[in-house]
Amino acid sequence: MLEVTELTKYFSSGLIRKQYQRAVDGVSFTIKNGETLGLVGESGCGKTTVGRLILRLTKPTDGTVLFDGIDLFALNRRELLAIRPRIQMIFQDPDSSLNPRMKIGTSIAEPLKLHGTIPEVKRKQRIKELIETVGLNPEHINRYPYQLSGGQNQRVVLARILALNPDLIIADEPTSSLDVSVQAQILNLMRDLQKEFNHTYLFISHDLDVVRIMADRIAVMYLGRLIEIGETRDIYDHAKHPYTQALLSAAAVDGKTEQNVLEGETSSPLDTPTGCRFNTRCPYREEICAIKEPELVEVGRDHYVACHIA
Ligand SMILES: Nc1ncnc2c1ncn2[C@@H]1O[C@H](COP(=O)(O)OP(=O)(O)OP(=O)(O)O)[C@@H](O)[C@H]1O
Ligand SMILES: [Mg+2]
């Protein structure tokens, strides 16, 4: 469904000319039809940027993205508009997803109108169906976002996305703003919808417990690089990269990923360490680690690690 190759985004720092922030740096992965790939890593490692690049909301520096065999970066505006409904994103900031001045029904009708898939007479019926599919009541249709809870609004966001019949959904921390009990409800809903409609998910999260439930495979990022990728069980039981191991051990202690799980600060993407980016914080560091950047190497079935030591 999705084939990402050497995806790269350098942001110019704006302060000093020719200084770049390597937000995403040569990231490659694939997602199969109907599969969920979890994308994890510390704040600022480039997760949201990966999502935005796939959607072409951010202009790539380099790389290719094939979606169902279609080269997304080669599309012109019109072609892009035609394919847009098939790739949808749930944004990290929930307040930015719904127009506060628009009634829920109008919000859900918007994508239906814009992409004109359903004749006007049938639209009302379709909105009612969508509202029910995400577990809301028809009475919510005439309310405004401020009259609903955070969890209910996230259901509206899902209804809006479902209206377009997408194949791929990029979910960027879809539940991080919600209470734990509501989080579980939304995650269950997303899993049910995935089964029903055969969605493919790129599921971005800080929360390793959430990713463990949701993802078939997990990709771990560090400072713009993909450092480990594999099946969820292999990552949890046999993590090979010292950074993945540290993330998991921190999660085991307090149930959540800490922003800083290791000694030392994350180096800034503005001044990326030479060699392995993790070498400045790595307890197993050897000479080569500061010299040569490790490539992803297969260490087990469908399990890849970028580490000289592992
Ligand atoms: N528009 C932009 N201009 C300049 N730098 C940017 C821009 N967007 C992101 N960055 C930088 O790129 C890096 C990656 O940001 P990104 O938002 O992708 O991280 P993230 O992994 O999603 O973090 P979080 O977990 O906090 O959401 C950060 O250092 C960020 O400051
Ligand atoms: Mg983010």
Q: Residues 186, 157: contact at Cβ < 8 Å?
A: no
Mean per-residue pLDDT pooled into runs of 10, the chain (310 residues):
97 72 94 97 94 96 97 95 93 82 93 81 90 92 93 92 94 89 91 95 91 96 96 96 91 51 60 87 93 95 95
Q: Is 266 in the pocket of ligand 1 (CB under 6 A)?
A: no
**For atom 17 of ligand 1, which residue has the closest CA?**
48
**Ligand 2 midpoint to CA 206 (Å):** 9
Mutate to test the pocket of ligand 1, among 7, 10, 49, 223 (most ligand atoms within 8 A of CB): 49
Q: What is the pLDDT of residue 259?
A: 43
State residue 266's pLDDT score.
Answer: 61
Residue owning the nearest CA to atom 11 of ligand 1: 23
Cα 31 to Cα 9, 20, 191, 207, distances in angstroms? 20, 29, 16, 20
Helices of type H across 11-138: 47-54, 77-83, 104-115, 120-133
Ligand whose nearest atom lies closest to the CA of 58: 1
> Residue 263's pLDDT is what?
60
Residue 38: its H or E element: strand 36-40
- Kindly list the protein residues that place their beta carbon closer than 5 angstroms to ligand 2, a single-atom ion: 48
Choices 3.40.50.10190, 3.40.50.300, 3.40.50.720, 3.80.10.10: CATH for 2-98+167-305: 3.40.50.300
pTM for the predicted model, two decimal places: 0.92
pLDDT of residue 290: 93
Q: What is the pLDDT of residue 128?
A: 93
Q: Is 60 in the pocket of ligand 1 (CB under 6 A)?
A: no
Ligand 1 atom with least separation from CA of 51: 18
Nearest CA to ligand 1 atom 6: 11
Kindly write down the DSSP assignment for every residue of 81-106, as one continuous string.
HHHGGGEEEE-S-GGGTS-TTS-HHH
Tokens standing for residue 34: 């109907």
Question: C-alpha angle with apex 129: 150 to 84, nearest 5 degrees?
Answer: 75
| 197-223 pLDDT, tens digit each | 999 999 999 888 899 999 999 999 999
- Assess whether the C-beta atom of 44 lies below 6 angstroms from ligand 1: yes
Fill in the DSSP letter of residue 119: -
State if residue 269 touches ligand 1 by the CB under 6 angstroms criterion: yes
Measured in angstroms, how far is the CA atom of residue 48 from the centroid of ligand 2?
4
Q: Is 27 touching ligand 1 by the criterion CB < 6 Å?
A: no
